[in-house]
Structure 1
Amino acid sequence: MTIRRTAAVLAATVLLPLGAAHAVDLEVTHWWTSGGEAAAVAELAKAFDATGNKWVDGAIAGGGDTARPIMISRITGGDPMAATQFNHGRQAEELIEAGLLQDLTEVAEKEGWKDLVRPSSLLDACTKDGKVYCAPINIHSWQWMWLSNAAFEKAGVPVPKDWYEFEKAVPALEKAGIVPLAVGGQSWQSKGAFDVMAIALAGIDTWKKVYVELDADAARGPEFAKVWAAAAKARDWSKDTKVQDWNQATNMVITGKAAAQIMGDWAQGEFQVAGQVAGKDYTCLPGLGVNEIISTGGDAFYFPKLDDPEKTKAQMQLASVMLSKETQVAFNLKKGSVPVRGDVDLNAANDCMKKGLDILAKGNILPDSTMTMSPDTTNQLQDVIVQFWNTPSMTPEEGQKRFADIIAQAD
């Protein structure tokens, strides 16, 4: 049954007038369960609890691929939480169309989100038919490669400055018994690494043709073939990772068991919890050191409709708290992400976060692919990439053809 059809049989609630406040408990679901993520969530909870209400944590282990179906099922099944995390983009599109999510426009207009949220595409992704349905809270970019300085020192080679120097260092790393590239078993990890290679190695123009314009000819072309060739090498370099979760792969870099990981900037939270210092213990390469780009993905919170005026009022308070200056700084410094507000003080930012802020300030940004493709297309592409990653006998040419065939039918 589709979300729209399910919605038709649910009792519709409306945004009720905000009356006198009473302390209420709000269940908030998300998939942040690693050490760095838990530290960041604690900042959100602390800020909301300070309003006199209570954050009831509903963490779902296993990452977004596991959590999103559970979240959607609860909302469509009549057992909604008070707030839930999704990524920026089209993941909640059908829930909005079905009338199951709160309209936050009043809060957004009162607090001037349109003037505060940067880049504006993040708020645009929350907006449908002129109404705001989510609170964007951070900018997360996949476009990073994290390097263990100790691993390269052990291998007797300099810390690379880009993907091509990394490739040259691989033989020395393998000789020293170090896994060159850590990629965990969760399907989204190999898809994310592939997409990073696409921007860095195929180039920005080709990436736009494939991921934004959905140009199948570009996906079949020679520039995109470079991505598949690099993915085949990465598949071989990562074969001895033998962990499942992304933060376990990050820990391999932290401990020097692996030399590198392609992972979003949320990995910084793990380095921070481990007491490592950017530029000293580890090095970060935005855009694999080839194309320094920030993709403006990230996280936003949506608020399902509830038949309880006091909880509805508390939902609006939570949305407001999430966008406050203090919460934006406290949360994002722990999370490793960049605040969505353009008016906050980030003097405490570390070396890697400053690199990201500099790229953002220069305007070198691209939308995350979840904002340009439907969830169905994204899932189909992920299936092909995961199969390629897990099947050494699949050639780059075969993977590229199957990928391009999906792009040809994409919406």
Structure 2
Amino acid sequence: MIKPLTLAAAIAVASTGAWAKQEAEVIHWWTSGGESAAIKVLADSYEADGGTWKDSAVAGGSNARSAAINRMIGGSPTTAALFNTSQQYHEMVAEGMLNNIDAVAAANNWEEILPRPTLDAIKVDGHYYAAPVNIHMPGWFWYSKEAFEKAGIDNEPNTPEELFATLDKLKEAGFIPLALGGQNWQENLLFATVLSNVGGKQLYLDALGKRDSETINSEEFKQVVDTFLKLKPYVDTGSPGRNWNDTTSLVINDKAGIQVMGDWAKGEFTQANKKPGQDYGCFPGLGDDSLYIVGGDVFVFPKTDDKQQVAAQQKLVQSMLKPETQIEFNNLKGSVPVRTDIDVSSMDICAQKGAEILKVAERQVPDGSMLMEEYIYGSLKDAVTEVWNSRDMTTAKAVKIFENALRD
């Protein structure tokens, strides 16, 4: 059941001037066609609530984040800035560079309606510093229905053994079994997916959270690494350097069988007029109890004592998380609403699957970027790339590389 603002909370928000017409400058990196359409939904929602949205788009995530930070340091901060649901902004919290949004979070019962991994990422030292707008799960399996049919595959794989059997059949039928773009972040995404599906929840959390030698040298982690390495022969020679969307096109055009990619891949299928369940299939992991990696996007709010800007910040948060805005925005973004208390029956079957899993806390794990500082996460991605692209890589050698990379 959707819980509206209580009268007391509404009065508190109104007393700050939050419902007065306020200009909000928002810096972000959503510049592609689908992303631009999605950010427009947020802008329209804010303006429908009486505000004025000033759009500041900067191409590239790292460029946009750097621009936002430079604006803060220079004394001319934007009203809000886009970041990923991670530890990217935790140092900014420690430096006192952000306003908290506790009032809106409390008024809308975030502790009850948001997934725990998301709450853990946006709440620092008891205060909320970021407004999440979606859940992106990076480890979805996307597959060509035509390729599966021609390869004689009747069911989606439910275990690692069944996955390899499926890849073998696709290879025998002349398809690229596993479509992978050979870029640092895509290789890391594949490794995280193997870790979650083969290692299980505790190993996933220990390997990326504790990062201790005992965990990394355990037989369970070695099995994860071994499985990851065994996937290499199923990837085509055109993989190195290939963009993710070009890789998705291989599945769309029935040249490849499976791609492991985040749910943003749906946008590519939609643009190609492909329908889920008819032209392509999607499943979030191996088996009905597979883990769901929780990632996503958030907006943070630069520190300011300007009452007008504080009011605009609170109004932005309120408008972004309205149920109708969440549905429309996430339909275009390819993600799942961050709120677990709204009706998603109007969304596609992939999004419905994800939304249903988000109601099961035991199946949720945070994205690796939420479990470690950025420099360690960068070392992990470099290690994955080294392991994946080195010739004659052994499991033992790979484990040592991971152990060195994950050391604080």
Q: TM-score, normalised by structure 1?
A: 0.84
- Matched with 2:338 is 340
Work out the CA distance in 1 between the residues paired with 2:283 and 2:376. Answer: 29
Q: 1:307 to 1:187 in 2, by over 3 A?
A: farther
The answer to whether structure 1 residue 99 and structure 2 residue 96 are counterparts is: yes
- Matched with 2:131 is 135
Work out the CA distance in 2 between the residues paired with 1:164 and 1:68. Answer: 41
Matched position secondary structure for 1:361: coil
Matched position secondary structure for 1:135: strand
Question: Do the aligned residues in 2 keep the contact of 1:34 with 1:247 (CA within 8 Å)?
Answer: no
Q: 1:302 to 1:358 in 2, by over 3 A?
A: same
Aligned residue type for 1:123? L
Q: 1:170 aligns with which of 167, 170, 174?
A: 167
Q: 1:147 to 1:319 in 2, by over 3 A?
A: same
Work out the CA distance in 2 between the residues paired with 1:274 and 1:393. Answer: 39
Q: After superposition, where does 1:274-353 map in structure 2 within 5 Å?
A: 274-289=272-287, 292-306=290-304, 309-353=307-351
Work out the CA distance in 1 between the residues paired with 2:110 and 2:320. Answer: 12
Among the aligned pairs, what percent are the same residue? 37
Q: CA deviation at 1:28?
A: 2.6
Q: 1:78 to 1:177 in 2, by over 3 A?
A: farther
Matched position secondary structure for 1:339: coil
The answer to whether structure 1 residue 212 and structure 2 residue 209 are counterparts is: yes
- Matched with 2:223 is 226
Q: CA deviation at 1:385?
A: 0.7
Work out the CA distance in 1 between the residues paired with 2:140 and 2:222. Answer: 21
Question: Do the aligned residues in 1 keep the contact of 2:34 with 2:333 (CA within 8 Å)?
Answer: yes
Question: Do the aligned residues in 2 keep the contact of 1:179 with 1:240 (CA within 8 Å)?
Answer: no
Work out the CA distance in 1 between the residues paired with 2:69 and 2:231. Answer: 34
> Bigger shift: 383-392 or 294-303?
383-392
Question: Do the aligned residues in 1 keep the contact of 2:140 with 2:261 (CA within 8 Å)?
Answer: yes
Work out the CA distance in 1 between the residues paired with 2:19 and 2:295. Answer: 37
- Matched with 2:192 is 195
Is there any run of 5+ residues in structure 1 with no aligned partner, and where?
1-15
Aligned residue type for 2:157? K
Root mean square deviation of aligned Cα: 2.8
Work out the CA distance in 2 between the residues paired with 1:212 and 1:378. Answer: 11
Matched position secondary structure for 1:27: strand
Q: 1:253 aligns with which of 251, 254, 258?
A: 251
Q: CA deviation at 1:247?
A: 2.5
Q: CA deviation at 1:95?
A: 0.8
Is there any run of 5+ residues in structure 2 with no aligned partner, and where?
1-14
- Matched with 1:148 is 144
Work out the CA distance in 2 between the residues paired with 1:67 and 1:232. Answer: 35
Work out the CA distance in 2 between the residues paired with 1:335 and 1:107. Answer: 24
Work out the CA distance in 1 between the residues paired with 2:304 and 2:298. Answer: 19
Work out the CA distance in 2 between the residues paired with 1:266 and 1:258. Answer: 18
Question: Do the aligned residues in 1 keep the contact of 2:383 with 2:405 (CA within 8 Å)?
Answer: no
Question: Do the aligned residues in 2 keep the contact of 1:103 with 1:132 (CA within 8 Å)?
Answer: yes
Matched position secondary structure for 1:102: coil
- Matched with 2:400 is 401
Q: 1:173 to 1:112 in 2, by over 3 A?
A: closer
Question: Do the aligned residues in 2 keep the contact of 1:199 with 1:207 (CA within 8 Å)?
Answer: yes
Work out the CA distance in 1 between the residues paired with 2:145 and 2:340. Answer: 32
Q: After superposition, where does 1:356-367 map in structure 2 within 5 Å?
A: 356-363=354-361, 364-367=363-366
- 1:320-341 Cα offsets, whole Å, 9 max, x none, are 1111111112112222322222
Q: 1:218 to 1:395 in 2, by over 3 A?
A: same
